[in-house]
A = this chain, B = another copy of it.
């Protein structure tokens, strides 16, 4: 199986669905809808939706059962990036090589576009369609809890408060990562499994997989920030270090970080051992995390 071709095909499916689910850029207020679409279609790799769709199919579900939720997850991820980039937060001018939302649409519209994308996610998740309402409610709860003050937003607050302190310990760094990025990855995989009709045991295995790749992904990101080039990353290389952000390489060294990432990938693959060949995409994605260049 060719992972690159698979990811390209999946990105197309997700992009097409996002285009369908989002209000058009000409619908009033056009500035708002334009701003929402600008960031949603700014070159994201659709990691979370791809994981959700793959988890759904791994347990025997149909792709279309998880497609709205997969798009909702990407909207939540996008809103978090728009708000993170704001002057009051990370104050970033570029993201994936493009000007950030507030540089193009202004700060007020960027704040509101983020708010609207977060809200749009729940509009999408609660659409009246086929599917078991109880499973949908469970997925909404899963995704909301992962995104809130005990999940992603909480992680962002601790990350922000830790910046420049220089004295972050591993426990704090782990809190930041499991909350800021890990929670959404876990929710993506679990939501896909739930929508695909996973058994309790299958859901447990999926959760172990998700937690392992979530942390591996973040460590790999930290490593890339040290080793990648500005061109490859689409943002300034070494920017984490420059702003005194806590990272795994800074805390435990580059080699130990690489080793830890590799161990986590092994754990993720082990968790998938209960599944058949339908788990192949999830397996290849896990292995890819520590190999990617951007």
Contact = CB atoms under 8 A, between A and B. Distances in A.
In the assembly, how many copies of this chain are there?
2
Interface residues of A, number: 50
A126 B137 contact: yes
Nearest to A148: B119
B108 A153 contact: no
Interface in A104-128: 106-109, 111-112, 114-116, 118-120, 122-123, 125-128
A157 B23 CA distance: 15
A43 B9 CA distance: 52
Given A126-B137, A144-B126, A29 B149 contact: yes
A51 interface: no
Nearest to A32: B157
Nearest to A175: B28
Contacts of A213: none
Given A133-B133, A161-B31, A156 B112 contact: yes
A212 to B, nearest CB: 24
Residue of A28, A79, A123, A141 ringed by the most chain B CB atoms within 10 A = A123
Given A88-B107, A115-B83, A126-B141, A148 B161 contact: no
A36 interface: yes
B154 A29 contact: yes
Contacts of A148: 116, 119-120, 123
A145 interface: yes
A128 B137 contact: yes
A103 to B, nearest CB: 13
A138 B144 CA distance: 17
Contact of A119 (B118, B127, B157, B161): B118
A156 to B, nearest CB: 6
A244 to B, nearest CB: 16
Contacts of A140: 122, 125-126, 140
Contact of A160 (B108, B126, B157): B108
Interface of A: 23, 28-29, 31-33, 36, 79, 83, 86, 88-89, 106-109, 111-112, 114-116, 118-120, 122-123, 125-128, 133-134, 136-138, 140-141, 144-145, 147-150, 153-154, 156-158, 160-161
